[in-house]
Amino acid sequence: MPTSVVEGVSNLSAKLRKYYRFSGSELGGLIITILCLSLIIGAGFDTGAEFDFSLWLFNLFNSMIIVTLSLLVHETAHRLYALAIGYAVETEIFLYGLLGGIVLSIMTYGKLPFLPAGTIRVKMLEGQRLGYFRYHLNVFSIGIIALMGPLSNLVLAIFFKALSFIQGPLIEKAIFINIVLAVTNILPLPFMDGGSVMYGSRPLYALTAGMIVSCSLLIFFTPVLIAVLGSLALGIGCLMIYFFVSGEFL
């Protein structure tokens, strides 16, 4: 293995040990977010012709396990990429988004879940930044950091889809929850990942949002490879449409 790669891995490992940990307020926000997202997903569970509280509670527990895993992967993806390029990430609870998700879930009987993972605040680690943007926040880099969250959930959904030969409702729920997390958080809304991505680069947003949304649809009806390749083609198509409409090719 090249020396530069070894040094890079060692440097990232040192940053993770020093900066990865969640603060007390972040942990509190994550716990509240996990509970709220689990309730939003739980509202859509079918418990039969008559409501069965014990079955609903069991499904809610399963949902909480999947949501916890998915949210930790989401936040870890933000932190990993940020630390790799000399930034640190703080996670904040998106309270209004969570309340909106709960209300929307109640109004639609859980048929339209909205799962905001939270808001990220990016700060520069001055000792780790070199070059032109050493003393400034780079909005494009912040957009990429934000993008890592929805992408990580999409990758996790693809992983669970590859395990779909293991029959069971838990795998199906894991695919569904990660798809909803990816699509929800790529929406171009303030205080969400999609808003940061679009602010950082509109062409990048057109490409990646097209890929995430199309892959999220294809993954339910096609094999994994076709879903991935199809989403790549559709994402490039969305990028071409953006260039055509915006006139940036001119």
* pLDDT tens digits, 114-163: 999 989 999 887 655 555 445 567 889 999 999 999 999 999 999 999 88
Sign of the torsion angle spanned by Cα atoms 162, 164, 169, 175 = positive
* Residue 52 or 199, more confident: 199
Contact 191, 93 (CB under 8 A): no
Residue type, 184: T
Tokens describing residue 174: 């894991």
Q: Label residues 37-47 b or e (16+ Cβ within 10 Å = b).
A: bbbbbbbbbee
Q: How far apart are the first and last CA of the chain?
A: 44
Whole-prediction pTM value? 0.87
Kindly report which listed range (47-61, 161-175, 187-201) carries the lowest average pLDDT score.
47-61
pLDDT band at 181 (very low <50, low <70, confident <90, very high): very high
Query: What pLDDT, on the 0 to 100 scale, is given for residue 7?
Result: 56
**Rounded CA separation 209/54 (Å):** 38
pLDDT band at 14 (very low <50, low <70, confident <90, very high): confident
**Rounded CA separation 63/160 (Å):** 15
Query: What pLDDT, on the 0 to 100 scale, is given for residue 250?
Result: 46
* Mean pLDDT (whole number) for 202-222: 94
What residue spans define the domains of the chain?
3-200
Helix (H), strand (E), coil (C) string for the chain: CCHHHHHHHHHHHHHHHHHCCCCHHHHHHHHHHHHHHHHHHHCCCCCCCCCCHHHHHHHHHHHHHHHHHHHHHHHHHHHHHHHHCCEEEEEECCHHHHHHHHHHHHHCCCCCCCCCCCEEEEEECHHHCCCCCCCCCCHHHHHHHHHHHHHHHHHHHHHHHHCCCCCCHHHHHHHHHHHHHHHHHCCCCCCCHHHHHHHHCHHHHHHHHHHHHHHHHHCCCCCHHHHHHHHHHHHHHHHHHHHHHHCCCC
